[in-house]
Amino acid sequence: MSTDDGSARPAVVWFRDDLRIADNPALSAAARSGAPVLCVYVWDDESDGLRPPGAASRWWLHHSLTELSASLERLGAVLTVLRGPSERVIGELLRETDAAALFWNRRYGGAERRIDEAIKTSAREAGVEATSFGGSLLFEPWTIRTGLGTAFSVYTPFWRACLSAPEPRKPGPAPRSLDGARLPRSTHTVTVDDLGLLPTHPDWAGGLRDAWTPGETAAHEQLTRFVEDDLAAYRNERDLPGVDATSRLSPRLRWGELSPHQVWHAARARRERDRDPEIAQSATTFLGELGWREFAYHTLFEHPDVATVNIHREYDSFPWARLHPTVLRAWQQGRTGIPLVDAGMRELWTTGVMHNRVRMVVASFLVKNLLIDWRHGEQWFWDTLVDADPANNPFNWQWVAGSGADAAPYFRVFNPELQREKFDPHGDYVRRWVPEWDTDAYPEPIVDLKESRRAALAAYETVKSSR
DNA sequence: TGAAATGTTGGGGCG
DNA sequence: ACGCCCCAACATTTC
């Protein structure tokens, strides 16, 4: 088949949360098809229900798209950037290019699934082969079911079911080269720069630049280094925020610079290679963290509005404190007078991530000691995390708040001072982010820990009794 | 992937 | 030698 100008009908690859060329099932399918490949990214800030990325996420997205574009050019293709409502923009592209096929890797959010379904239907009606692939999860949510055919609501049996399901596929290579499709002049494209994703006035991204190199190349270096050098100590040291013992792969998975399949098999291969029991245990613990990611997506699939609605609806009547903006701001800015909390919030603001143990502590502090609705915390994380994930972020906030799937029991209130003594015993982490700790410049706590704990338990008591 | 309150135990000081 | 008390240290229960 040919278009009017004699060129073959292209296969369109729509990139979304999969900004990589290796182990990308949609890209591979397009390359295999023999058709010229047209790679596209759509910046859609118009469709209903799509959640606009936060500021830190936009920064990361800019750089990751830029590298993806360069990688595709090396292979012989280009990344076409479009702007507008996905359904209209993709539909127009298919018509203008007389595309033969449309490929993508699936998304799992409510609005995303509605949009993708509508596009798939109209593409097929127009004679375009539209095919979706599993590229971002180890286990598709609808394949992991309880004996009754329902979704799992508890992590442990969920993960056990995953582990006894067929093993996730081995990751595939990047295409060696691509036959890049030509774009008709009539198509209105923009550049990554045109999207205006970077902060300008002021440019607050200096800390992010120091902490990160977005993009697929650095992602692979990071994965290799972690698996080869750091996996052995992972189990014992991952809870110590002052030690660099975590994988720091979360933004890589969020943006799909790495697929979970690449991470899974890298860790498994390391475990098989040398049979050190320390590595074996660490690998199991680490893979369990991938399991929580799978469970969060599983939960998002079942509860599309997880970012705004309590999974346990009895929490809808929870007696949150009246919101004092100064209190929320003190938490956001790391000025609560609680050293571990302030250290975490400042790490977040500077680097776009926070150590996982500390995330639990600051979240517990906001929700329980300050009695501030978890949605405020979720939104702040959404805006400031470079790994802000549509599934993980709301899932984990609801987990801490007690309203979520397999949530922490309501009475589990972290004591941030005790947590500091346990997990940052030498104060390395706190001093790194709160240098004025233990000086007169450091403020008094904005709440009494003992008293606010009692108040939290009383508040949660009202929810419990209404069950 | 808690913390605090409460209960139990056992060693040592002491009359 | 014995009972009593104190109090860590650990275990269990409760929130």
Is A374 a catalytic site residue?
yes
The secondary structure of chain A, three-state, reads CECCCCCECCEEEEECCCCCCCCCHHHHHHHHHCCCEEEEEEECCCCCCCCCCCHHHHHHHHHHHHHHHHHHHHHCCCEEEEECCHHHHHHHHHHHHCCCEEEEECCCCHHHHHHHHHHHHHHHHCCCEEEEECCCCCCCHHHCCCCCCCCCCCHHHHHHHHHCCCCCCCCCCCCCCCCECCCCCCCCCECCHHHCCCCCCCCCCHHHHHHCCCCHHHHHHHHHHHHHHHHHHHHHHCCCCCCCCCCCCHHHHHCCCCCHHHHHHHHHHHHHHCCCHHHHHHHHHHHHHHHHHHHHHHHHHHCCCCCCCCCCHHHHHCCCCCCCHHHHHHHHHCCCCCHHHHHHHHHHHHHCCCCHHHHHHHHHHHHHHCCCCHHHHHHHHHHHCCCCCCCHHHHHHHHHHCCCCCCCCCCCCCCHHHHHHHHCCCCHHHHHHCCCCCCCCCCCCCCCHHHHHHHHHHHHHHHHHCC
pLDDT score, position A230 = 97
- What is the third-level CATH fold of A1-135? Rossmann fold (3.40.50)
The CATH number of A137-169+215-302, from 1.25.40.80, 3.30.1050.10, 1.10.760.10, 1.10.3720.10, is: 1.25.40.80
pLDDT score, position A1 = 44
pLDDT score, position A465 = 58
The separation, in Å, between residue A58 CA and nucleotide C1 C1' comes to: 80
Question: For the packed helices A416-423 and A339-351, what is the interaxial angle rounded to 10 degrees?
Answer: 70
List chain A pLDDT tens, one digit each, 467 residues. 444 455 799 999 999 999 999 999 999 999 999 999 999 999 999 999 999 999 999 999 999 999 999 999 999 999 999 999 999 999 999 999 999 999 999 999 999 999 999 999 999 999 999 999 999 999 999 999 999 999 999 999 999 999 999 999 999 999 999 999 999 988 899 999 999 999 998 999 999 999 999 999 999 999 999 999 999 999 999 999 999 999 999 999 999 999 999 999 999 999 999 889 999 999 999 999 999 999 999 999 999 999 999 999 999 999 999 999 999 999 999 999 999 999 999 999 999 999 999 999 999 999 999 999 999 999 999 999 999 999 999 999 999 999 999 998 888 999 999 999 999 999 999 999 999 999 999 999 999 999 999 999 999 999 875 54
Whole-model pTM: value is 0.96
Q: Which nucleotide is nearest to A412 (CA to C1')?
A: B2
Domain extent listing, chain A = 1-135, 137-169+215-302, 313-465
pLDDT score, position A4 = 46
The CATH number of A313-465, from 3.90.700.10, 1.20.1250.20, 1.10.579.10, 1.20.1260.10, is: 1.10.579.10
How many angstroms separate the CA atoms of A24 and A50, rounded? 23
Contact (CB, 8 A) for A405 and A294:
no
Examine domains A1-135 and A313-465 and report if their fold is the same.
no
Look at the block and give the residue holding tokens 């007696």.
A319
Q: Which nucleotide is nearest to A406 (CA to C1')?
A: B1
- Does the CB of A419 sit below 7 A from strand B? yes
pLDDT score, position A380 = 98
- Within 7 A of a protein CB, which nucleotides of strand B? 1-4
pLDDT score, position A186 = 87
Is A356 a catalytic site residue?
yes
